[in-house]
Structure 1
């Protein structure tokens, strides 16, 4: 069974990654992709390293990772892509070259139904993943299956033309826990994530928490690592140390005594990936109460929850004052994550879904 998985990563992240790795120019395609994977960006969604154990032959492409895509083009006698349209055209050429049975698309917005229908090679199964904003005009006709950890997105997929939708969540690669194991605690409370127009409740929560951290008795530290798409209030901007991605993001999670989680507005609390990322590195998670959290971790034993700013501040103070209790809970969460939510478990789940739809 041949499976090709594709992504579009944040351009800003890729620019920073490439600046840190001037040796990329001398590496072939496979080694460039290996170096990128080891940096951890979107690692919980990348299944190509673990699916071969289940009988798959795999190929991974990141459409806008230009050094690697340019190298692949050169290796196949093609010009390097310069524009977004040329990137899409090269990705289609990679599909034609690899001829996958399953095409698993991590960016079903850029590679929507129009792009899928333009392919000259027709996979047996075209699969997408989405749990973020779906722009108006999105077309998913041509997708056989759309995966998401959130029911609202699965329903939206069907309305936009996907033939079927199934629940599926990313996992946690064990190697990331090893790479950040020695990072010491440095910050009382940490939050990493985006601020967009779809994060109104997140913005309000962080603003209220920043005020409480500064004025409460005793005060506590709040470290923010925000990928803000618009200006944030002054009480947040003075605490914001800038976006962190890949291994840097996992180091930030590990360095927090408490890791805060606040969901995007459209998602049911309890299902986003930060929950698994935090548990995977051994961090203590404080997240919103949600109906689906129990399917991942045991509230009060493996992770802690809150229902409003008052309870959030109260629990922050409690767990800062009780480090042994906090660390024991984080240890149990990590053990659960590495057992039940690791990439091997996710690969088995993914394989079951694929076999049922082929």
Structure 2
């Protein structure tokens, strides 16, 4: 079977990737893809390499990468508009943090309107045509679309018309209301509430969790000394109000190291500003986790009572002690207390930090057990086995 994975990257990551290698934007398509995968950011080539290991032909397309798109078009004789230099892309006007906090609960309702007025990410006409040409060239039997925003329902129907491949969508938030998802044969999500929302509109849907790629451990530099007491890697925004409150409570008492984005959305009085260490991507993120005695996790507010974000598996897979927010289904992923620790309230989080920073043997034992669980159960190989079972 021929499997094609569609994905999209954060613009800030793309700027970082291309600025660190000045000639990359003009390089061959294969060279750019190799550099993208070597960063180890996000899912990199973890789905495609595991589909290939299972005996399939697999490839990736990063749909919102204008420099890769231009390279592919150039190498295949297609017309294309020369993309701007990395870092010079037109930036959307930022929405003030106070307004973001006000509209956060209404995002599922507002998304269709945002798309109509150009505030939601989407591909332009030329980018769509090049993507469709890439898909036609590869001739997939199965397409796994991991970005249902850039590759929206309308574009998904066009993809479905190219040889009628099995079309799977993967999404971690409740879908926009009023969208026509009928082009998809299957929608997968790490959250049951998202799965149930798709089933509620007549779309077949199943739970498939996120994962960790064990080969990361072989591709990382040597592990650094654990010189960081407490770290957190991730965004702080209007969509993470519980996270911000918890991190601020930690920052008032401990030397928290915060890596990520969104600090501009917080008031100047927030103690998180003095904790900020900048953004880390891929390899740098894993090294920051490995340098931490304890790393914190907190889900996006929209996750509700369910656990399933990427940090659960990235932190444990890297061998770091994980203190995460308690969720009703967390026990189905890890044994709480022996593979990860979980907090219920900000005060509870502080108590657990005291306990585990003061007991190295217990902390290390839990970190080792958490890593063993992830490497045995929460791998991309296991996830593609699930996907293939659902497809068959």
Structure 2 counterpart of 1:231: 265
Structure 1 counterpart of 2:197: 156
Larger CA deviation: 315-324 vs 176-185 = 176-185
CA contact (8 A) 1:127 1:144 kept: yes
Q: Distance in 1 between matches of 2:289 and 2:173?
A: 21
Q: Compute the TM-score of the two structures, normalised by the length of structure 2.
A: 0.83
Q: Compute the TM-score of the two structures, normalised by the length of structure 1.
A: 0.90
Pairwise mapping of residues 209-220 of structure 1 onto structure 2 (< 5 A)? 209-211=250-252, 213=253, 220=254
Alpha-carbon offset, residue 115 of structure 1? 0.8
Two-structure CA RMSD over aligned residues (Å): 2.1
Alpha-carbon offset, residue 65 of structure 1? 2.1
Alpha-carbon offset, residue 293 of structure 1? 1.4
**1:266 is paired with a residue of what secondary structure?**
helix
Residue 113 (str. 1) matches residue 153 (str. 2): yes
**2:187 is paired with a residue of what secondary structure?**
strand
Pairwise mapping of residues 191-202 of structure 1 onto structure 2 (< 5 A)? 191-202=232-243
Count of aligned pairs between the two proteins:
347
Deviating runs (4+, > 4 A) in structure 1?
133-139
Unpaired segments ≥5 residues, structure 2: 84-122
Residue 128 (str. 1) matches residue 169 (str. 2): yes
Q: Distance in 2 between matches of 1:53 and 1:302?
A: 29
**1:34 is paired with a residue of what secondary structure?**
helix
What does the per-residue CA deviation read over 1:111-169, in whole Å, with 9 as the maximum and x for residues that have no partner?
A: 1211112334043311111114645665433122111010111123345x562111101
CA contact (8 A) 1:69 1:81 kept: no
Q: Distance in 2 between matches of 1:136 and 1:255?
A: 42
Residue 347 (str. 1) matches residue 378 (str. 2): no
* Candidates 193, 205, 212, aligned match of 1:172: 212
CA contact (8 A) 2:240 2:301 kept: yes
Q: Distance in 1 between matches of 2:390 and 2:81?
A: 34
Structure 2 counterpart of 1:303: 340
Q: Distance in 2 between matches of 1:344 and 1:296?
A: 16
Alpha-carbon offset, residue 79 of structure 1? 2.6
Q: Distance in 2 between matches of 1:252 and 1:144?
A: 39
Structure 2 counterpart of 1:242: 278
**CA 1:43–1:170 in 2, change beyond 3 Å: closer, same or farther?**
same
**1:350 is paired with a residue of what secondary structure?**
helix
**2:210 is paired with a residue of what secondary structure?**
coil
**CA 1:100–1:229 in 2, change beyond 3 Å: closer, same or farther?**
farther
Structure 2 counterpart of 1:257: 293
Q: Distance in 1 between matches of 2:202 and 2:132?
A: 20
Residue 184 (str. 1) matches residue 225 (str. 2): yes
Unpaired segments ≥5 residues, structure 1: 214-219
* Candidates 327, 340, 355, aligned match of 1:290: 327
